[in-house]
């Protein structure tokens, strides 16, 4: 029950900006720095497993999206990055599942037509 209360409390956390000078400084920071500061302010460091999905969902809401689906629909580069990651990951289970769908590579050098 405590975990549920903690997760619900996280939903309403906001990073507080105190004055115009902070706003000006924040606008000059790189996006990487701002994301790092958000992660520090919200203590959101884990992006693995179910907790990682919840944390990423929390972050995309900060960006103004209702959920991860909305974020992905609006940011095709994120989908491309995930596809590239899958291609580079060389996970045997991924290969197996794809082969189950498309079958093995046909040998083009097959001379059985002659």
Q: What are the boundaries of each domain within the chain?
A: 1-64, 67-104
Structure tokens at 93: 């289970």
Residue 109 has pLDDT above 50, yes or no: yes
- Residue percentage of the chain with pLDDT more than 70: 72
Taking the alpha carbons of 93, 96, 102, 108 in that order, is the dihedral positive or negative? positive
pLDDT at site 7: 45
- Pairwise pLDDT comparison (111 vs 72), residue with the higher score: 72
Interval 35-75: pLDDT, tens: 999 999 999 999 999 999 999 999 999 999 999 999 999 99
| Closest to 29 (Cα-Cα) out of 14, 43, 13, 40 | 40
Residue 110 has pLDDT above 60, yes or no: no
Residue 111 has pLDDT above 60, yes or no: no
Alpha-carbon span 13 to 43, nearest angstrom? 11
pLDDT band at 112 (very low <50, low <70, confident <90, very high): low
């Amino acid at each position: 029950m405590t975990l549920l209360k903690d997760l619900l409390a996280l939903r309403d956390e906001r990073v507080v900006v105190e004055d115009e000078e902070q706003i000006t400084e924040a606008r000059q920071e790189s996006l990487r720095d701002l994301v790092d500061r958000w992660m520090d302010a919200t203590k959101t460091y884990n992006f693995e497993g179910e907790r990682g999905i919840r944390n990423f969902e929390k972050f995309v809401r900060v960006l103004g999206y209702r959920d991860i689906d909305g974020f992905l629909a609006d940011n095709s580069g994120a989908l491309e990055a995930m596809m590239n990651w899958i291609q580079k990951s060389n996970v045997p289970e991924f290969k197996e599942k794809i082969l189950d769908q498309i079958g093995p590579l046909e040998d083009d050098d097959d001379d059985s037509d002659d």
